[in-house]
A = this chain, B = another copy of it.
Amino acid sequence: MDMWFSDEHTPNVKLSIRIERQVFSAQSDYQRIDIMESKEFGKILVVDGDLTVTEKDEFIYHEMISHVPMAVHPMVKKALVIGGGDGGVVRELCKYNFIEQIDMVELDPLLVEACRKYYPQTACQLDDPRVNIYIENGLRFIRTRENEYDLIIVDSPSPFGAGEGLFTKEFYGNCYHALKDDGIMINQHESPFYTEEAYQCQRMHARIVNSFPISKVYQAHIPSYPSGHWIFGFASKKYHPIHDLDGIRWNMLGIQTRYYTPRLHAGAFALPVYVEELLRDVE
């Protein structure tokens, strides 16, 4: 069978994956959702034509967006996930027994439903009793919250489509207010490599730097994403991502990972010169 899915990285670059079969396809009120089976990446989730999750490498994205703040903040009790309808972030957070409440705000109910049915690898903890799912606009949800969360993870789609509002100055300001005095916000921060995305990275960083006293960026190798060089934002009211990293405490928790380690955590904040310069320009 010679069927290929192509993910457009730029108008001049694309990554193609051989597809065995299409498992699910639907148009929701917000976006087109496809789930396909592939030999190399296992099941892949495609949203509006963009490769979003693959069975083979989703652990990298979900571990890096979740465990970095968890190894810094001494006691997260209440966490908020904005977006993340596939459930991957919730799955990672559920590994921490001391987290008491995880609110997840996802705009698209069909995405959650499709992942529950066809993507149990990521959606497996959505029924954990600590998890509350709000089918709502994240931007609207966050406006009314104040001094409530220890951790906010913004697991948004790209800034080009339905998730656009999750990349505004107003949104980051609202996240700041929704966090407690020692809260941390993590956001997926696109890739610094291709010109258009690098510009988005820069714009996002400028806005977060304006909203939070501590704002750093860290990187991971995510092969299925454009350029494979992905970055995350670490914005914080009090804790520094490296000085306040407590690797010994984190290791004592005995949490199983396939990518994240506290040693890698520190290394992930050491950025290439060209990325440092991109960000420094707006600091």
Chain A residues with CB under 8 Å of chain B are 6, 10-18, 38-41, 57, 60, 193-194, 219, 221, 223, 227-229, 257-261, 263-264, 266-274, 276
Residues of B within 8 A of A272 (CB): 60, 221, 258-261, 264
The distance in angstroms between the C-alpha atoms of A79 and B210, with both chains bound, is 48
Q: What are some 20 contacts across the A-B interface (CB < 8 A)?
A: A6-B16, A12-B17, A12-B38, A12-B39, A12-B40, A13-B15, A14-B15, A193-B221, A193-B223, A219-B221, A223-B227, A257-B273, A259-B272, A261-B270, A261-B272, A264-B272, A266-B267, A267-B267, A267-B268, A267-B269
Is there an interface contact between B261 and A274, defined as CB atoms closer than 8 Å?
A: no
How far apart are the CA atoms of A270 and B83 in the complex, in Å?
30
Considering the chains assembled together, what is the distance between the CA atoms of A270 and B266 in angstroms?
8
- B-chain residues with CB within 8 Å of residue A259 when the two chains form the complex: 272-274
A257 neighbours in B (Cβ, 8 Å)? 273
Q: A266: which B residues are within 8 A, CB to CB?
A: 267, 270
Q: Chain copies in the assembly?
A: 2
CB distance from A56 to the nearest CB of B (A): 9
Residue in chain B with minimal CB distance to A4: B14
Chain B residues with CB under 8 Å of A41's CB are 13
Is A264's CB under 8 angstroms from B258's CB?
A: no
Known contacts A10-B40, A12-B40, A228-B223; is A258 also within 8 Å of B273 by CB? yes
CB-CB under 8 A from A268, the residues of chain B are 267, 270
Known A228-B221, A267-B267; contact A15-B18, beta-carbon cutoff 8 A: no
Please give me the 10 A-B residue pairs with the lowest Cβ-Cβ distance, nearest first.
Answer: A228-B228, A267-B267, A267-B270, A223-B227, A221-B229, A12-B18, A12-B40, A259-B272, A264-B270, A12-B39
* A193 contact set on B, CB distance < 8 A: 57, 221, 223
Q: Which residues of chain B are near A17, meaning CB under 8 Å?
A: 12-13
Write out the residue numbers on chain B whose beta carbons fall within 8 Å of the beta carbon of A263. Answer: 270
- Return chain B residues, CB-CB under 8 Å to A258: 272-274
Task: Tell me, in angstroms, the Cα distance from A259 to B264 when the chains sit together.
Answer: 18
A271 to chain B, nearest CB (A): 7
**In the complex, what residue of chain B is closest to A227 when comparing beta carbons?**
B223
